Amino acid sequence: MEKDVMAALAWLAQRDHGRGGVVFLGEKEWPTAWETEEFHTLFYFFQGQRPNLGSILMQVTGTRRATPAALRAAYAFGLEMGYAGIPLLTGLSAGVEQASAEGVLDAGGEVIALLPGGLSYEYPYCPRLRRKILEKGTLLSCNLPTYPARPWSFSRKSQLSGTLATITVAIQYPACSGVRYVIEAALDHGREVYVHAAGTEDGQESIGSKRLVEEGAEVISSYCNVAKSQGRGFPFPQLMVSSQRMRPLDRCPCSSETPVHYKFGTWYSVRRTDEA
């Protein structure tokens, strides 16, 4: 234990001023969602911007083996979140979670990545995405920096994120998926949970998300649907995303609309909306 503490102090000493640190239970930055004894969490380390964990946070989660349609849906949802100014809470798992994080970042939004292991470990391994997050967002861990991800730490991370997020959106997941731990934690603590329409299509990849709809979860197809469902006072985007599948060298059919993004074999164009 002494060795781990010394390694943590060395990690803190290497952080640029204001670009990393540790927050303890009882400090003003500590989120109220983590104050109950069930979490057994006394601290979190962060790298990048100091996070505001008391603000509205939305979590987008789903399977690592998402269908192409689900990946496109996750990216488009992330774009809308980014343009609406809603921070994304994510575990950065491959598939849905990384796709939604890419969307938020491409829209200039903020991403807070809660990781299963210590911040010294490149897991999940996505170095380019981690660098982009650190430009404006935060990498976060409730483990010592040198502590590797263990099998049990994934369910713990899911419980922490499901409770911390104000809203959780499940894009798509199969019957046997770790996503269910996130969903259960969110529902157990009275958080809002939505299912994206991409998670209701036929196939093994959608069995879990379809079951969640059968249990009463509301189906949405965009961030705008979530904003309308939440009602007055919830940030509504002034920009909305539309998409069309084309080759990257083809001219975007909506090139007069700016900005424009290309991802997953699809052009995503953004238009203004007068809705409120």
Domains of the chain by residue range: 2-238
Side chain identity, residue 83: Y
Alpha helices in 85-206 (DSSP H): 96-106, 127-136, 151-164, 179-188
**Is the CATH number 3.40.50.2000 carried by domain 2-238?**
no
The tens-digit pLDDT sequence of the chain (276 residues) is 566 656 666 766 666 545 888 999 989 999 998 987 666 788 999 999 999 998 889 999 999 999 999 999 999 999 999 988 999 999 999 999 999 999 999 999 999 999 999 998 888 899 999 999 999 899 999 998 888 888 888 888 999 999 999 999 999 999 988 899 999 999 999 999 999 999 999 999 999 999 999 999 999 999 989 998 998 677 776 666 776 665 554 555 554 545 688 888 888 887 766 554
* pTM score: 0.88
**Length, in residues, of the chain:** 276
Q: Give 64's strand partners.
A: none
Q: Are 102 and 263 in contact (CB under 8 A)?
A: yes
pLDDT of residue 206: 95
d(CA 249, CA 197): 29
Q: Are 170 and 143 in contact (CB under 8 A)?
A: no
